[in-house]
Amino acid sequence: MESVLASDVGARSSELDITVERGQRAVFCGLTSIVWLHRKIQDAFFLVVGSRTCAHLLQSAAGVMIFSEPRFATAVLEDRDLAGMADCAEEVERVIAQVLARRPNLKTLFLVSSCPSEVIKIDLENIARRYREKSQGSLRVIAYSGSGIETTFTQGEDSCLQNLVPEMPAGTDEQNQLLIVGSLPDIVEDQFMRLFAELGLENVAFFPGRRSETFAAIGPGTRVLLAQPYLGETARALIARGATLLKAPYPLGAEGSLAWFRAAAKSFNIADSLFDETMRAPYERAQRSLEGCKRELEHRRIAFLPDSQLEIPLARFLARECGMIPTEVSTPFYDAMTMAEETPLLPDGIDLFEGQDLDAALDRVKLSRPDLTVCGLGIANPLEAEGLRTKWSIELMFSPIQGFDQAGDLAELFARPLRRKARLEVGSWN
Ligand code: SF4
């Protein structure tokens, strides 16, 4: 037992070179993150100030039927607004009043800016400030950017959480709290909470939580453990409030989850024996859950095009625990702080890219013809038409993939398209 649980994961033998690309990009914008954020923060409403395109994006990304009443909406800018002929602030305030009339129990209203509202410079922060004053503290109104100008879709969550940090009350040196940062499906949050409790860690909070009424206090006694890799700006805002960022890989796969929990346990001086005893069963269960898919994934080549900012941790998991061979790993933005514990775990021989130059990236994929390419939705069809198998990276945002109990499901997400390909090939011989 001393064996696996006591040892730390091994590091690569050489430094990674990162090639920076700048060119045409094909990614979703930050509005997309509203789809998982509105499910997570259950007493909040997201009001996008944008165009019909923004409204369509949200509607189709969420797959919402017209009969349902989701906790997000778009205040659509008309030609008059865009031409500067109407008072946009007044229009936005009118829509806010409608939302509040229908939902008087809202605790937080997010005003989300988009490309068009930023281009015509609608001052949502000012509107948010005015509404807060009007509500005399009963409603929290927060403005943040969801625009697609030079951003990718997971940055919507980073922007949202970063703008919530000033709402957190000041903590003390003594509070000794672990703050898990990054939205997680409730089922994963519950599993993590159980494991932390078994480790004897009771003062654990999640950000964002399911309710937005109260926030964890933040200060020098707060230790931050990121559950999602794309939250660099939120992490910096928390550090600026005095919190300490714990260094850890992300909880993807058996190994990643173990190292993630170990970082928390070490920081709170949890005895090795208790850590091993607590983690043994879930870790071994996670390893067993990988066995089936591993046979299908082993020695298969995989390329990641830049999209979700999960690319590096996923490549690490697939290479180390499933035996896949990542050829190219591209990420929209490389943040050395949030990737500090991940890049050293990537195997040798990977081409790592930051940014995107779409045509060049597609040419590389067509030339190297990996068994599987993880990419954005818009790129998948053209690649499939070339006989290449693809996996939509956005699917990974809508599935519970973190933690020991999800390790097998995570591997399965990559095995499925390969299995489908094998079936099609068999079918074509019949
Ligand atoms: S925010 Fe920008 S990129 Fe996103 S849907 Fe609206 S116009 Fe398109």
pLDDT tens per residue, range 38-94:
999 999 999 999 999 999 988 887 765 555 667 888 988 877 766 666 677 888 888
* H helix and E strand count, the chain: 16, 14
pLDDT at 105: 87
| Ligand 1 pocket residue status of 237, Cβ below 6 Å | no
Query: Ligand 1, atom 8: nearest CA belongs to which residue?
Result: 54
Question: Edge-to-edge strands of the sheet including 108-113?
Answer: 72-76, 44-50, 108-113, 140-145
pLDDT tens per residue, range 159-212:
999 999 999 999 988 889 999 999 999 999 999 999 999 999 999 999 999 998
Residue 122 Cα, ligand 1 centroid: separation in angstroms? 15
Residue 148 Cα, ligand 1 centroid: separation in angstroms? 5
pLDDT at 425: 65
Query: Ligand 1, atom 7: nearest CA belongs to which residue?
Result: 115
Q: Ligand 1: which atom is nearest the Cα of residue 116?
A: 7
| Ligand 1 pocket residue status of 54, Cβ below 6 Å | yes
Residue 83 Cα, ligand 1 centroid: separation in angstroms? 18
The rounded Cα 309 to chain-centroid distance in angstroms is: 7
pLDDT at 64: 57
Residue 56 Cα, ligand 1 centroid: separation in angstroms? 10
DSSP-assigned beta bridge partners for residue 110: 46, 142
CA distances from 333 to 155, 230, 245, 263, 327 (A): 10, 9, 20, 25, 18
| Ligand 1 pocket residue status of 49, Cβ below 6 Å | no
DSSP state of 85: -
DSSP state of 269: T
pLDDT at 3: 42
Residue 51 Cα, ligand 1 centroid: separation in angstroms? 8
DSSP state of 355: E
Q: List the one residue out of 240, 255, 386, 370 whose CA is nearest residue 304.
A: 370
Best mutation site among 31, 47, 112 for ligand 1, i.e. most ligand atoms within 8 A of its Cβ? 31
| Ligand 1 pocket residue status of 148, Cβ below 6 Å | yes
Q: Ligand 1: which atom is nearest the Cα of residue 58?
A: 5
* Dihedral sign (CA 266, 271, 275, 278): negative
Residue 46 Cα, ligand 1 centroid: separation in angstroms? 15
| Ligand 1 pocket residue status of 73, Cβ below 6 Å | no
Residue 173, SS3?
helix
Q: Ligand 1: which atom is nearest the Cα of residue 56?
A: 5
Do 2-25+287-429 and 173-275 agree at the fold level? Answer: yes
**Superfamily of segment(s) 2-25+287-429:** Nitrogenase molybdenum iron protein domain (3.40.50.1980)
Query: Ligand 1, atom 2: nearest CA belongs to which residue?
Result: 115
Q: List the one residue out of 91, 57, 59 whose CA is nearest residue 75.
A: 91
Best mutation site among 27, 28, 29 for ligand 1, i.e. most ligand atoms within 8 A of its Cβ? 29
Write out the CATH class of domain 30-151.
Answer: alpha beta
- List average pLDDT for each run of 10 residues in the chain, which is 430 residues long: 48 74 87 93 94 89 63 82 71 90 92 92 92 87 92 94 96 90 97 98 96 91 97 98 97 98 98 98 98 95 95 98 96 95 92 90 94 92 93 91 98 93 59
CATH code assigned to 173-275 = 3.40.50.1980
407 contact partners, CB below 8 Å, separation of at least 6: 252, 253, 254, 257, 286, 287, 289, 290, 321
* Dihedral sign (CA 59, 61, 64, 70): negative
Query: Whose structure tokens read 């559950």?
Result: 227
Residue 147 Cα, ligand 1 centroid: separation in angstroms? 6
Query: Ligand 1, atom 3: nearest CA belongs to which residue?
Result: 148
Pairing of strands 204-207, 222-226: unpaired
Q: Tell me the C-alpha distance between 249 and 84, whole Å.
A: 48
| Ligand 1 pocket residue status of 53, Cβ below 6 Å | yes
| Ligand 1 pocket residue status of 152, Cβ below 6 Å | no
Best mutation site among 49, 115, 149 for ligand 1, i.e. most ligand atoms within 8 A of its Cβ? 115
Best mutation site among 25, 27, 51 for ligand 1, i.e. most ligand atoms within 8 A of its Cβ? 51
Domain extents in the chain? 2-25+287-429, 30-151, 173-275
